[in-house]
Structure 1
């Protein structure tokens, strides 16, 4: 679970920085956005596997869990293609206020409950429900309706629950561990993603921007920490360490990203000056 927290990526703030610095539509910006989406999808799948294997007293084979997850995904995909559009149309035809939104919420909670019944994480079920809805004609309409509900109700409640479970008692005994974890979290993404970008023939400047853009952890890391604590798979101190890593990397990442973008701009300006002189 600590590894999942370190691997998670949040680009909401990164995207704002890229927009501000006019780098969102560059090659590095596209790579950051694409890699972050892939990162979160893999993280959700691994979270489902890890919580299913270690979150119960009956330790199932990892291959059995992968098979169950694959079957669950296929079932949700088929339901999303053939049943969800009709299901949402029925709610929309009721002509009641926000009836289609209520239908989408029922679908989300129902899929999450089905995932739990199959021994998987409710997070995985909700995620797959979102994928199913995204394949329908209701996607844009429901996104506009559900997003305000999320920001007004569910997201604040989630962050409050995260804060309530943090405890700083005894943290002084783990201060060195927390500092090393934060350093590892920053350098791991910066160096690892930067070198990966370089392997695909990006310049060192672009590679550093990609690495900095992947440093921030966010909502996915908080979800992983919360699932691990609620499943009694980590103790309070490790949970607090995970939250601190998430918060600090989220604060530091935009500063590092701006630094590398400014360096990149200076190099471009210097090259332009040399070409003009020549």
Structure 2
């Protein structure tokens, strides 16, 4: 990609991989977040790096203020890889912009406010979802599985059954796990009691992240946004506020496709 010195470009990035965690940095250029999964956030936020887990999206304004190559590069991220074969992706270049010596005409500044995002208000229902792993009938929510390679295991493995669970249950297409109502504001508390990160995704709506809690420390998101996927690191609890506006069954699941296939998915039936 060729750009002029001082030029700004709007980029939409989408992690369409099945399992890669993309910790990104733009060398020789600066990034400003203006949107996430659900469109614009309230105000621009400058970042040095950002994490995109499977299915997450982000909209950026990238400012190219130095001549020469500007490279979008992957950084090392520890998400709890299990077993051998961990890919060495640090330093992988995803995009190179060649910034010329010739300066572009002055570009307009970003507005200080992009839009308003109203709070969903007080929840009328609170739900709790606990993410765990199971191998050979043993629940590894509190037992480490580090050093185990699950890449070629299946749910029907004769030698060792591997499952990823929500509230101790593996996905069943014929089972309804939760019942909700159209228009009902809910607080979902998602607890990652497993040994690795899980990007949690909800169908049919978008939510607002309320807070993260890990090792007794509670942190708030740095900006309000509409999301449909949020990463939950090992040992972390993430609380989200949501509302479903249409009736029907909705899936919620880990967006690592192998984990979804191995059972980390449930169904909420939204009733009129």
**TM-score normalized by the length of structure 2:** 0.21
More helix by share: 1
Q: Which has the larger radius of gyration?
A: 1
**TM-score normalized by the length of structure 1:** 0.21
More strand by share: 2
Q: Which has the higher contact order (CA 8 A, sep 6+)?
A: 1
